[in-house]
């Protein structure tokens, strides 16, 4: 399909870095190769921008009753976990993780990571997501699948090994993954260092991990303060909260993505704000595992940077960012009896622009000239979204994956008029079913 596209006559919705989400009615958006070259209300200027970029012909995508907006960047996911969907539910995080998930993960082989990841990417794309911060082992298989699909991933790599009951730092694993990314010559994959949580490794191991992150200039991906048990055990062992302990180890900075952050005190919020950590809020997972309700209002007030994630499909049990946006906003309102909290504009920005920034893709997540063309098309000509009313409210409170008509990533359509263009979904379904039966 043509690398030049003129999106014509759309309702264009976009977040900004320092102002609320804005709307352009009857707007035009020109895409040349991987980038947006025009956004505005003039068809003539949209064509001039395409010609000036070097385009001779272009494909016209008509926008009657359609919204054009940025795709979602899911700031906390475990993509291969789709193979564990609906096999261990209605239990606590501790029983779920140590009793059901880790014993199965220990039996995973490379094809499980590859196809489990692709299944999740298919689901994400059909739901308007084009980017994920993915915390999981199997980085090469996952990165390969993402590159083949044309999907953006901030992918973790392990900087450690566990052998004969002893943890040790594993620089080679990091070096191999960085070399792999370099070889691929791709804009789609960015690395990060996997530091699961404060409760999975011995105390002396956190500082060496922090040194690995600094040595290779890697962002850190970590779960923090997800449950009350985590806080109690941390205080019992170290006398301080998980946030304080991880900060002492040097693991919190402006590229760190910290998932959950449900149970925080004022000092924790101040540290997260001072270090400019990205907090990935996971409302579905926190409620399903009964971890608790993160206090978004207090985090906002403290100046903590917020984004949004689904967590893995085994604790959610889907990857629907529309659901996360709606839940995040409704929980903030319902738990405080204040309907003004976490507005549609704020939560849409968390799910799009902020997610991209958290994942390290700074030129994505805004519909404007010069940004990369990561775009979703929403068809609002359906009972669920009709009449449209405020387009931003409609996206957050009424829309769902079935309204996503097309998804473009880096200028390529990966979903076009509801058809996946880069994933053989039947093959992926067949392989993941086999994996699920084997690991049952
Ligand atoms: Zn997680």
What does the pLDDT look like over 89-132, one tens digit per residue? 888 878 888 888 889 999 999 899 999 999 999 999 999 999 99
pLDDT at position 64, please?
98
Residue 116 half-sphere exposure toward CB, CA atoms < 13 A: 29
How large a percentage of the chain has pLDDT more than 90? 89
Per-residue pLDDT tens digits for 221-247: 999 999 999 999 999 999 999 999 999
243/247 Cα distance (integer angstroms): 6
- State the distance from the centre of ligand 1 to the C-alpha of 17, rounded, in angstroms: 27
| Distance from the alpha carbon of residue 311 to the mean position of ligand 1, in angstroms | 5
Q: Which helix (H) or strand (E) holds 37?
A: strand 35-40
User: Strand, coil or helix: what is 371?
Assistant: coil
Distance CA 331, CA 422 (A): 36
CB 310 within 8 A of CB 316: yes
Tell me the pLDDT tens digit for each residue of 355-400: 999 999 999 999 999 999 999 999 999 999 999 999 999 999 999 9
Cα 282 to middle of ligand 1, angstroms? 9
Is residue 68 within 8 A of residue 81, CB to CB? The reply is: no
CA of 197 to the centre of ligand 1 (A): 10
CA of 148 to the centre of ligand 1 (A): 25
Tokens (6 digits) for 422:
């880069």
pLDDT in tens, 294-314: 999 999 999 999 999 999 998
**pLDDT of 21 higher than 90:** yes
Give me 400's structure tokens: 């769902």
**Rounded distance from Cα 77 to ligand 1 centre (Å):** 6
Contacts of 135 (CB under 8 A, 6+ apart): 76, 77, 78, 156, 194, 196, 221, 259
Q: pLDDT tens across 123-175, in order?
A: 999 999 999 999 999 999 999 999 999 999 999 999 888 888 888 889 999 99
Ligand 1 centroid to 5 CA: how many Å?
37
CA 147 to centroid of ligand 1, rounded, Å: 23
Q: Is the pLDDT of residue 5 over 60?
A: yes
Half-sphere exposure of 249 (CA within 13 A, CB side): 27
pLDDT at 12 over 70: yes
Average of pLDDT values for 210-225? 97
Strand partners, 147: none
pLDDT of residue 199: 93
What's this model's pTM, rounded to 2 decimal places? 0.97
Average pLDDT of every residue of the chain: 95
- Count CB atoms within 10 A of the CB of residue 383: 5
Domains and CATH numbers, the chain: 4-70+366-420 (2.30.40.10), 73-358 (3.20.20.140)
pLDDT tens per residue, range 25-40: 999 999 999 999 999 9
The rounded Å distance from CA 102 to ligand 1 centre is 13
Measured CA to CA, the distance from residue 292 to residue 189 in angstroms comes to 32
Separation CA 352–CA 357 (nearest Å): 9
Ligand 1 centroid distance, CA of 93 (Å): 11
Ligand 1 centroid–CA 342 distance in Å is 23
Compute, in angstroms, the gap from residue 258 CA to the centroid of ligand 1: 9
CA distance 301 to 264: 13
Query: At how many degrees (to 10) do helices 171-184 and 139-149 cross?
Result: 20
**Residues with beta carbon < 5 A to ion ligand 1?**
311
pLDDT-based confidence at 1, cuts 50/70/90?
very low
Q: What mean pLDDT is predicted for residues 40-53?
A: 97
22 CA distance to ligand 1 centroid (A)?
32
């Amino acid at each position: 399909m043509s690398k030049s596209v003129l999106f014509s006559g759309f309702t264009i919705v976009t977040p900004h870095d320092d102002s609320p989400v804005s709307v352009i009615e009857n707007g035009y958006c020109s895409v040349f190769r991987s980038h947006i070259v025009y956004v505005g209300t003039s068809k003539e200027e949209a064509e001039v921008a395409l010609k000036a970029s070097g385009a001779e012909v272009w494909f016209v995508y008509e926008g009657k009753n359609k919204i054009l907006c940025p795709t979602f960047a899911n700031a906390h996911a475990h993509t291969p976990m789709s193979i564990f969907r609906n096999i261990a539910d209605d239990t606590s995080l501790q029983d779920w993780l140590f009793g059901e998930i880790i014993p199965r993960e220990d039996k995973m082989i490379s094809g499980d990571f590859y196809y489990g990841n692709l299944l999740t990417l298919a689901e994400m794309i059909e739901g308007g997501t084009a980017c994920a911060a993915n915390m999981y082992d199997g980085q090469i298989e996952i990165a390969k699948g993402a590159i083949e699909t044309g999907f953006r991933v901030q992918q973790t790599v392990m900087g450690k090994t566990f052998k004969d009951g002893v943890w040790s730092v594993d620089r080679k694993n990091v070096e191999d993954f960085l070399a792999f990314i370099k070889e691929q010559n791709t804009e789609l994959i960015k690395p990060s260092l996997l530091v699961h949580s404060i409760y999975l490794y011995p105390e002396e191991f956190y500082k060496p991990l922090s040194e690995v992150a600094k040595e290779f200039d890697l962002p850190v991906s970590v779960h923090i303060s997800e449950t009350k048990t985590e806080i109690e055990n941390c205080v019992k062992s170290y006398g301080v909260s998980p946030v304080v302990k991880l900060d002492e180890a040097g693991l919190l900075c402006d590229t760190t993505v910290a998932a959950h952050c449900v149970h925080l005190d004022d000092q924790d919020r101040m540290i997260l704000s001072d270090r400019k950590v990205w907090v990935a809020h996971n409302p579905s997972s926190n409620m399903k595992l009964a971890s608790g309700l993160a206090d978004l209002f207090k985090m906002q007030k403290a100046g903590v940077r917020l984004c949004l994630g689904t967590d893995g499909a085994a604790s959610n049990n889907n990857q629907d960012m529309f659901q996360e946006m709606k839940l995040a906003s409704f929980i903030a309102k319902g738990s405080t009896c204040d309907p003004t909290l976490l507005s549609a504009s704020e939560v849409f920005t968390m799910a799009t622009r902020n997610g991209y920034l958290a994942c390290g893709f700074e030129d994505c997540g805004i519909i404007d000239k010069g940004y990369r063309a990561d775009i979703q098309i929403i068809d609002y000509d359906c009972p669920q979204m009709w009449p449209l009313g405020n387009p931003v409210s409609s996206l957050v409170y009424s829309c769902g994956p079935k309204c996503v008509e097309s998804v473009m990533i880096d200028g390529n359509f990966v979903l076009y008029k509801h058809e996946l263009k880069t994933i053989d979904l039947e093959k992926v379904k067949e392989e993941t079913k086999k994996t699920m039966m084997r690991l049952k």
